Chain A
């Protein structure tokens, strides 16, 4: 079960981006790669979220949550038409 990947929305604290990065997407990518070499971003958000979405295992999500600059790692939700 720990290997099953799910989509998560990762919210980052932009103000905590290390000075070594000149582009926030590189910082996002580096954060993601620190917990998973294989994980790929689905979307990098610009206006609605400082962050991105990616497929992760529960363990990777938990590990990512403890990385510096990470505000929250929220599992994707399914919405329905009304």
Chain B
């Protein structure tokens, strides 16, 4: 990716992360749509021998030979039996029955996590710079599990099974399904086994935002990643016949519009169908759009397809207006005709002009790439939000990372829009989603693994979470683009990832497999359900009082019973901190958005005299009364003056 390494401070990472030997031993496995191995992001120049521990393979198949792997791309496998038995044999003229990526998504995520350095990267001139993966010295292994018809759980499980055999260190999964109990969810089941082998599993939180309870991949042994913006934008400017100007975003790179105002029409008035405003295929009347700029509403069909529909009908350009569902969030696309996306407010203002002027006119100017945009990051509207619908006591997402307008490697099989009629071929593409933020964290986790090979997956996640930030440099709280207001831990989890601080967290919250089994006992799983998830008999001790609140998680989600119902109004959480830095005395501070919930930490001071020393504390949350709609947020921070070990708190009623 370009820009995100500097946005994350990785340009000064040499002092914090090993440059070659240790990093070269770390292998990131990516379950996705495969890989386009010829991309420079997978160049192995300067890489040493493949680690002796690596047991993976490079499988041959359609358009892909085992010779495509190298010292960078150390493994490439594909899993299609589940897919083929459900949807029929793969048509090899349409998609490659091999690790070859015909889609682009897998090449993008793999290169984001661990792509090599590529100078002169750009998409049609946009976002130019030096591209690199987060862990650019780590190795990559791809496991193709997603096909044109989707990603099937039998294939995902088979890939995770093989990745564990192969000895990956980090697994990156930018995919998800619905929400089901952990023992029914293949990704949660596979991730549990991976965690037991010391593999960190990073998953995308989902693009179901901004509504609450929209998360996927919420098992506590998974690192769940939401998405935020960068300080980079691709502005485009709309000028209307009434002299008013508006801003939007676009990655259009073809011929400019004529240097004059063009006739302008609302798609809904250039169609005979009721949803003509959406610019669905075949719905525009060519005589009514020819030579004009057409305003289409966002929704239902792909954004780039709307542009293609306008172009096919003879339109000269397109303005794509957000509706309620997307608000002011702007996602840039490499449209096939001059086009820009605009926010809902701008869209409404433009529509007002369209309906008030008998002969409306407009034009669009393209502004290229702009950096230094503030405020940034802001939480992306699409990023899925908590509370966690499976276990409300575990706060998810864990963290946010860059996931909007991310440039990374792309397939040679399709153009940047992915449309069949797009015959452009690009080395890099710019796309958005929690699919893009997840591999950022996977790569950063690989960096931490290289710097601290002895750290468990939970320790790595803890370091990433407790050092994440929730305020801009001016002290103002991170914003949520969906509301324009400060975001909450249900939106950003622990905050935005800060890898330099994560390299030296001071203290960590560690969790081992037995701790997770105790957590499962607290969920009151039956022996059969536990065995399904953990692959062994584990008997919960009937004399022991298990509590979900006792899982040593680096964040706090407190769920009080609804007002009027029975239940204690004091809930106690216990935590254990492990020292991974120098000796020191840490003092706690508690902050909260409301005094209605009393938060007491005991003890208030923890002294560590040696490495790996453990100290425990308890937190009591007391709520005299809460209305059913009130959420309270806060932070619990331990500091020795040099390190700040910060945990978000989210308090709600169930």
Contacts and interface: CB of A to CB of B under 8 A. Distances in A.
A76 B82 contact: yes
B531 A71 contact: yes
Given A48-B193, A55-B85, A72 B154 contact: no
Contacts of A81: 32-33, 105, 146, 151, 174-175, 433, 435
Nearest to B193: A48
29 contacts: A7-B85, A7-B86, A7-B152, A13-B528, A42-B158, A43-B82, A43-B161, A45-B161, A46-B165, A47-B193, A48-B189, A48-B190, A48-B193, A49-B189, A49-B193, A71-B531, A76-B154, A77-B178, A77-B180, A77-B185, A78-B151, A78-B153, A79-B150, A79-B156, A79-B177, A80-B176, A81-B32, A81-B146, A81-B151
Interface string B137-172: 000000000100011111011101100110000000
Interface in B396-435: 433-435
B82 A7 contact: yes
B186 interface: yes
Interface of B: 32-33, 81-82, 85-86, 105, 146, 150-154, 156-158, 160-161, 164-165, 174-178, 180, 183-187, 189-190, 192-194, 197, 204-207, 433-435, 438, 528-529, 531-532, 535-537
A60 to B, nearest CB: 15
A36 interface: no
B154 A53 contact: yes
Contacts of A48: 157, 160-161, 164, 189-190, 192-194, 535
A48 B462 CA distance: 24
B86 A79 contact: no
B86 A43 contact: no
A77 B153 contact: yes
Contacts of B177: 77-80
B537 A15 contact: yes
B154 A47 contact: no
Contact of B86 (A15, A46, A76): A76
A82 to B, nearest CB: 4
Q: Which 5 A-B pairs have the closest CB atoms?
A: A53-B154, A82-B204, A82-B435, A47-B164, A79-B151
Contact of B153 (A9, A11, A13, A14): A9
A72 B151 contact: no
Contact of A77 (B105, B186, B192, B193): B186
A24 to B, nearest CB: 12
Contacts of A77: 152-153, 177-178, 180, 185-186
Contacts of B178: 77
B535 to A, nearest CB: 5
Nearest to B534: A50
Nearest to B436: A82
A14 B175 CA distance: 30
